[in-house]
Each structure stands twice: as C-alpha cells, then as structure tokens.
C-alpha cells in the first residue's frame, strides 16, 4: 500500500472520529440539564433497610480497571 493510500485512510478515519465526537457533543448539549442533575445528585449514605454501626456505610467505587472495591465513607 503506497504512502498516499495510508494518508487517505488516516484522513478518513480522523474525519469519522471527529464526526462521532461532534455528534456526541450535540446530544450532550441537548440533554445537558438532565446530565448535570444526574451527575450532581447526592449519593445516599445508607439504604433505608440497612442498619450500620454509627451511620458508616460502605460506598462501592470502581478503580481504573473497573474492579469493585469498598471504601468507608467517613475518615478514621
């Protein structure tokens, strides 16, 4: 494959990527209020049917590898 064809392929892939980013940005702008409300609503400390020692409930968080881990919501 000559260099010109590689550059043409790169140009096409970059254009498709930019179009995808633009489409997602437009959708995010349309639903920005709902997205911000969803992202900023407070996380409940405990479920109503859970009894905890002193009100400390564990919050499940995901690290960069998406493996669940539990951490305490209060500092010791």
Which of the given ranges, 3-12, 34-43, 61-70, has the highest pLDDT on average? 3-12
> CA 75 to CA 59: how far, in whole Å?
13
> pLDDT of 24-61, one tens digit each?
999 999 998 888 888 777 655 566 666 655 555 655 55
Structure tokens given for 38:
């969803």
pLDDT of res. 76: 46
CB contact at 8 A, 22 and 15: no
Structure tokens at 57: 């409930």
Nearest alpha carbon to residue 70 among 2, 27, 52 = 52
Long-range contacts of 33-36 (CB under 8 A, 24+ apart): none
Which two three-digit tokens encode residue 45?
């400390």
């Amino acid at each position: 494959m000559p260099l010109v064809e590689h550059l043409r392929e790169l140009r096409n892939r970059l254009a498709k990527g930019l179009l995808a980013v633009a489409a997602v940005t437009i959708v995010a702008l349309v639903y920005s209020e709902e997205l911000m409300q969803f992202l900023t609503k407070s996380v409940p400390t405990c479920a109503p049917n859970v009894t905890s020692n002193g009100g400390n409930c564990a919050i499940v968080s995901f690290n960069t590898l998406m493996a669940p881990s539990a951490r305490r919501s209060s500092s010791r």
